[in-house]
Structure 1
Amino acid sequence: MTELLKVEGLSAGYGEAVVLQGVSLSLAEGKTLALLGRNGTGKTTLINTLAGATRQHGGSILLAGKALHKMAPHERAAAGIGWVPQERNIFKSLTVHENLTAVARPGRWTPDRVYEMFPRLGERKSNLGTQLSGGEQQMLAVGRALVLNPRLLLLDEPLEGLAPIIVEELLLAIRRVTRDEGLSAIIVEQHPQAILRISDSAVVLDRGTVVHAGTADELLDQPQLLEQLLGVAR
């Protein structure tokens, strides 16, 4: 199986503050990794570091053999990183359609395919970002990452604070683009069970280091291990 992402000995943080220490992980082409851990363990910092939004102090990040750690954020996007940060970062002064067309790159994911997957966005394509609900903004953030036609999708807590019906829509969409269409993804989520069910592997961080790495099924099948690592019950 072809290795898409390889992270080795990664140390990174903000300014002089080091949050991640010696993190190593890998992800095969077409696979999904659930990135888990309690609050403040470095999950968002790792996602941000892959996207180029932190200061890297050591280690390497390779995407399909290319040294991402030597690239600026816009170069990483061009190399195949699609990033949906916690803040969503949509262009709120632009319409839904303008948000999608402003960043679209050639490939199978087009604005029309995003509208087909998220009919709510198709109904609101002329609405400004400020006129969307939180769930619709999250759908737009995911759609905007997809029209970049990335090789690796980074999702930072995509379900946080959303109504249950929106959570289900987003989970179905994430399952479709990963399971059905084979897009590689790393997903950070505070509530692990839903994400583990659509993931192939799982990495747990604690205090900026990897404390567990294995299959997603392993954690689903061992609720006591999940509780020990995350302090949650199944």
Structure 2
Amino acid sequence: MSDLLDLQQVSAGYGEAIVITRIDLRLQPGESLAVLGRNGTGKTTLLNTIIGVTRHRGGTIALAGRNVTGLRPDMRALAGIGWVPQERNIFKSLTVEENLTAVARHGLWTVSRVYEMFPRLKERRANMGNQLSGGEQQMLAIARALVLNPKLLLLDEPTEGLAPIIVDELLAALKRIIRDEGMSAIVVEQHAQKVLGVTDSAVILDRGTIVHAGSSRSLIENPAPLEQHLGVTARKTPRRAANH
């Protein structure tokens, strides 16, 4: 099976600054990947490089066998990359339904289908984007990417700043989209525990390079790399005071 996404020795950044260096990354059709790391390690830059909004400094990016390294972001989107940035980028002056119909392309993911995935959006379909809560705006941002019917979905910190109950609802939806529907996805997330149950594999970035790659399950079962690179430690039972 040919790779859906193939990054070979990719380096990129902003202006004169190089943020990610010599990244090798491959993703199969239907595979999902978590990108983990502390703040400032290059996670968002990696997604920005795949969509084409950074300064390319070396290497190649191929999507479904097509070299997209030199393509503009809009052309990469047309080639099949759906992007949900941290800023969400919804149209706040349009209704929920207008946000979806304005960008929808023919395919399996229709407006009706995303309403089934996100019932809150169906309830709010006549509301303007600026009338939605933060969690609803994030759902709309994901729904907008889905109705583009992409080959690959990129999500940058999708749970950031959301209430715990909304995080649980959003992660459940993402699990259905990725696991049940087979959507290929790369999810950037600072908090590993939130995303490892959703994705097939994971990489950890540190100082712009991949320092660990493996299955999500292996990281759940053996969190030593998380402890080493993210400072995530297992909860320990307090020691009882000795009786004297």
Report the TM-score range of the alignment, normalised by the length of the smaller protein: over 0.9
Cα distance in 1 for residues equivalent to 2:229 and 2:14: 26
1:47-196 to 2 correspondence within 5 Å?
Answer: 47-196=47-196
Which structure: greater helix fraction?
Answer: 1
Aligned-pair distance for 1:224? 2.5
Contact 2:2 2:65 in 1 (8 A): no
Aligned-pair distance for 1:194? 2.3
Aligned-pair distance for 1:114? 1.0
- Secondary structure of 2:114's partner? helix
Counterpart residue type for residue 12 of structure 2: A
Aligned-pair distance for 1:28? 0.7
Farther off after superposition, 216-225 or 87-96 = 216-225
- Secondary structure of 2:174's partner? helix
* Per-residue CA distance 1:41-93 (angstroms, 9 max, x = gap): 00000001111111111111111111121211111111110000011011111
Farther off after superposition, 145-154 or 186-195 = 186-195
The residue aligned with 1:232 is 232
Q: Under a length normalisation based on structure 1, what TM-score does the superposition of the two structures give? A: 0.98
1:216 aligns with 2:239: no
Contact 2:154 2:186 in 1 (8 A): yes
- 5+ residue gaps in structure 1? none
Aligned-pair distance for 1:223? 2.0
Aligned-pair distance for 1:193? 1.4
Cα distance in 2 for residues equivalent to 1:87 and 1:20: 21
CA-based RMSD of the aligned residues comes to 0.9
Contact 2:88 2:138 in 1 (8 A): yes
Cα distance in 1 for residues equivalent to 2:98 and 2:17: 37
* Per-residue CA distance 1:116-143 (angstroms, 9 max, x = gap): 1111110111111110000000000000
Cα distance in 1 for residues equivalent to 2:169 and 2:75: 31
Cα distance in 2 for residues equivalent to 1:73 and 1:224: 37
- Secondary structure of 1:3's partner? coil
Alignment: residue pair count: 234
| Structure exhibiting the larger radius of gyration computed from Cα positions | 2
Overall identity of the aligned pairs, in %: 66
Q: Under a length normalisation based on structure 2, what TM-score does the superposition of the two structures give? A: 0.94
Aligned-pair distance for 1:2? 3.6
Aligned-pair distance for 1:165? 1.4
The residue aligned with 2:240 is none
